[in-house]
Chains A and B, each alone.
Chain A
Amino acid sequence: MSTTKPWLSIRPRQFPLSFRVDRRVPLVLASLVVIALLSLVFNVSQGEYPVPPLEVVKTILGFSASPDYAFVVNTLRLPRALVALLVGMGLATAGTILQGITRNPLAAPEIIGINSGASLVAVALIVLFPQVAVGWLPIAAFLGGLGAAIAIYLLAWNGGSSPIRLILVGIGLTSLTGAFTSLMITFGNIYNVSQALVWLTGSVYGRSWEHLWPLLPWLGVFLPLTLVLARDLDTLNLGDNLAQGLGSRVEGTRSLLLLCTVALAGASVATAGNVGFVGLMAPHLARQMVGPAHIGLVPVAALTGACIVELADLVGRLAFAPIELPCGVITAVIGTPYFLWLLCRDGRRPAS
């Protein structure tokens, strides 16, 4: 491939729009879409009642003759696989934004405590008000994540933000909210508690269309918003002073971006529980593939996250069949060594 220019400028005549992306972005995006779709189809086809992959495609598109296939695919497995994709996108985008605004390669919503705040409020909702509909969970989780984010901001960012202190405060906050979550679990009604537990392990087990629909609007609003703000993310990444000099309204943009992070992470956590380390890994992998410019990075990271969660779910389902491991366990087993590697690499390269 001849890389004469590393950038691809996009200026459609019809729209008042202009941006440039890394030359690798279209190819990487296309291959990620293919990988995501393939893993989706494969995930749907595997299980106790195997469906050939071709039949899966036919069934999804609606030309299948067999009603059995239609039931297994459309009712049981497809919503779950789609939830995995969307949750991966949400968590990965949230992580990308957070790493961008904190300029901290180790930041991710699950590490600095946003996810555990969301978990706490969602568990409280499940345990204390079991009659509330599933659709309220994302809103509750969003509020919980927002509370955690504000607490972290107040506790760690005042008087000069130190990346490492941010993580330490996050660790403390995670144990605190974790203790409250255990408290809920110890005293709730046993039926509600077992529901909360399945959800808490970070699993897409048993997710159906009624979990998928409430998730969709959150991603539909906040993913495009993040893309619109991608250029501001690049400016913020230069440091507050330089960003201000370039005419960026630093505090306003940062608050808006933080809101996106919390919304995406909260909605994902509300749907699938705390699937760890996706928001950490995906942005780094994406950055290695397409470089640090956020307009290309955000969609690539989102799709990478989708692939990670989808594949983790697949592995979790197949590795010890017929027993399922939650995909959160799989992502933790892959993600922790990655996190430690990042930690030990020790700023040999600049953060992004």
Chain B
Amino acid sequence: MVRSQPLAFSKSPISLTLGLCLGGGLLLACLLGSVLLGAADIAPGTVWQAIFQFDGSTEHLIIRTVRLPRAILAVVVGAALAVAGAITQGLTRNPLAAPDILGINVGAALAMVLAVFLRGSGGSYVGFAFGGAAIAAITVYWLGSMGRSGLTPLKLVIAGAALSYLLSSLTTGILILSQRTLDEIRFWLAGSLAGQDIAAIMPILPYIAVGLVGSLALGRQLTLMGLGEDVAQGLGLNTGWVKVAAAIMVVLLAGSAVALAGPIGFVGLVVPHVVRFAVGVDYRWILPYSMIAGGILLSVADTVARLVIRPQELPVGIMTALVGAPFFIYLARSKIKR
């Protein structure tokens, strides 16, 4: 490993590409596992038939309307959350940053609850989720950079935690005021992948696609930002635009992930760290790896959440918190030297 050049690859591009392909294969395997395993186990051949030779039997119906949408949802949401986390960490150069920890996810959730409260259900709320995520992101950035010492990573995290507390209290307040809103939304609010219809997922997928592709395009710029803003500017990077573009991607990804599956925590925090451990500091590799690893993580978490106590299931948000919160404490202990 060459220490003097921070951008030098610790691993060759060929092995990284191979690793990416391997990860893709693993992702497909997890996807398949997620379709096969559940309250009723289904043979792999049946899945194949259900997709390509649909005959309307109960098993085929289960696969097409329940299992498959859910498996895809897990992968998509996991990828979106992980990439949003990787961008946030790169942009703020803060190991503890992630959309859920900074309150961005809670902002999106509050906006959606507010929308259901004011307008009633029906129609699409994804616009509200984006709005809420954007407002929360701007607020937390503003709060974290107030005061004399400017934007310190720690203040950002603590401001995010306080903002999350405030926003979730407001959400609780609305839910108590309106029984109807509570009925319509409480399932989603626990952070769950269950019971989503493919028709509800489809309209949001384009936003996630735009967010993922746009993020991958920002890899080079984020790597430069990792050297520090001054250095990045010195190397000819327009840091202002990079920040705005990256923030838009975070809002798109986090907003649509919340709109699809409710606030699922800690995926955005944990995945980029694990990935960075494997591939080093180059965001051109961190971002695609995060995408795949996020998909794998949430897919596995969802499958396990369904299997541990069948036929009941755990909300996947609890699963990720049980893994993620100790990791957060570990990071706070090891990365914060002050």
**Which residues from chain A sit less than 8 Å from chain B, CB to CB?**
106, 155-156, 162, 164-165, 167-169, 171-173, 175-176, 178-180, 182-183, 186-187, 201, 276, 320, 323-326, 328-329, 332-333, 336-337, 339-340, 343-346, 348
Contact = CB atoms under 8 A, between A and B. Distances in A.
B312 A187 contact: yes
B338 A326 contact: no
Contact of A175 (B172, B177, B321, B333): B321
Interface stretch (B6-14, B38-46, B148-156, B273-281): B148-156
Given A183-B318, A332-B169, A164 B336 contact: yes
10 contacts: A162-B338, A168-B329, A168-B336, A172-B325, A182-B190, A186-B190, A276-B165, A323-B177, A325-B177, A336-B169
Contacts of A329: 169-170, 172-173, 176
Of B169, B266, B309, chain A has the most CB atoms within 10 Å of the CB of B169
Interface string B306-317: 000100101101
Top 7 closest A-B pairs, CB basis?
A346-B147, A179-B321, A332-B169, A176-B325, A336-B166, A168-B332, A172-B329
A186 B155 contact: no
A179 B177 contact: no
A169 B176 contact: no
Interface string B171-200: 011001100000000000010000000000
Contacts of B157: 168, 171
Contacts of A346: 146-149, 155
Nearest to B148: A346
B172 A201 contact: yes
Nearest to B312: A187
A52 B151 CA distance: 53
A172 B265 CA distance: 12
Contact of A169 (B154, B158, B332): B332
B315 A320 contact: no
Interface string B131-175: 000000000000100111100001101110111011001101100
Given A186-B318, A343-B162, A345-B147, A168 B325 contact: no
B207 interface: no
A322 to B, nearest CB: 11
Given A326-B176, A329-B173, 11 more contacts: A165-B332, A168-B154, A168-B329, A179-B322, A323-B176, A325-B173, A326-B172, A328-B169, A337-B166, A340-B162, A344-B159
**Looking at chain B's contact residues, is the secondary structure mostly helix, strand, loop, or mixed?**
helix
B176 A176 contact: no
- For A172, A176, A186, the residue with the greatest tally of chain B CB atoms inside 10 Å of its CB is A172
Contacts of A178: 321
Given A329-B173, A343-B155, A343-B159, A165 B318 contact: no
Contacts of A164: 154, 158, 336, 338
A77 B154 CA distance: 44
Given A106-B158, A320-B177, A183 B314 contact: yes
Contacts of B333: 155-156, 165, 169
B56 interface: no
Contacts of A169: 329, 332-333
Interface in B46-68: none
Contacts of A168: 96, 154, 157-158, 328-329, 332, 336
A241 to B, nearest CB: 19
A340 B317 CA distance: 27
A327 B170 CA distance: 12
B304 to A, nearest CB: 14
Contacts of A183: 314, 318
Nearest to B155: A343
B326 interface: yes
B315 A186 contact: yes
B113 to A, nearest CB: 14
A152 B228 CA distance: 33
